[in-house]
Structure formats: structure tokens, C-alpha cells
Amino acid sequence: MQILSTTGGTLNFIPRENISSGKTYTLTIKSENKNKVIFNDADATITADKFYSTYTTTQALKESSFYNLEVTNATDNKLIFRDKIFCTDQAANAFVINDGVYTQHNTGANEFIYYEG
């Protein structure tokens, strides 16, 4: 799963085939909530870096939403990568799903009195 902010970011992935400069690649981001393509780059600039590839996007995404990512080799009409994207502006290691939604209240000592019959 890729984690991006609401202003986009860098996607790192390992494709099913090596990235070639002589081929054309298409990158598509589809919203899971709306079941609609929100971004399509028909001539994606993908950079091969050692054992993985990178793509940088500035696409605006919605906070706490899931998206599907597909990278296709348009020259050979082959799917070379598929993944899921989660959008959040929170730090990934400290993500809290209900951040700012619920508040904790102190209701006292929570003492109970037991009666024996």
C-alpha cells in the first residue's frame, strides 16, 4: 500500500517488467469511494532506480480516502503494477483513524460498590 498526502507525493514500486525508455506507460488513479478515475497520465515519466521505480505526482487527493493505482505498459498493452493508495496528512507511523473526531472524557474514578446477598 502506498501512502500519499493530500497534495500527492512519490510512488515507489517494483513493476512486473523492467522499465524501458522506448516504451510508453500509463498511470491511472481511481477513487474507491466514487468508483471513478480521478487521474490519468497517458505518458507517465517513470524513473528506474536500482531495483525499484518511482513516479512523482502532485494530484490533489482527499484525506482518509482509498484509491486504486494501475501502471500499464501502453506499448504492449500489459498491466505491470497494481496497488492501493491511502491518503493522509498524518505521519504514517502515528496514524489514528479517529484523529480529532472523538475526545476522551474523564468520568471519575469508576469505582463500583458490590453488595453481597
- Tell whether 103 is covered by a domain: no
pLDDT computed for residue 105 by the predictor: 67
Q: What CATH number should be reported for the domain holding residue 42?
A: 2.60.40
- Tell whether 9 is covered by a domain: yes
Q: How confident is the model at residue 102 (pLDDT cuts 50, 70, 90)?
A: low
Residue 13's domain comprises 2-90
pLDDT tens track for 10-19: 999 999 998 8
The reported pTM is 0.75
CB 85 within 8 A of CB 2: yes
- What are the strands of the beta sheet with 47-49, ordered from one edge? 9-13, 52-57, 47-49
- Tell whether 82 is covered by a domain: yes
pLDDT tens track for 42-83: 999 999 888 899 999 999 999 889 999 999 999 999 999 999
- Tell whether 97 is covered by a domain: no
Structural domains counted in the chain: 1
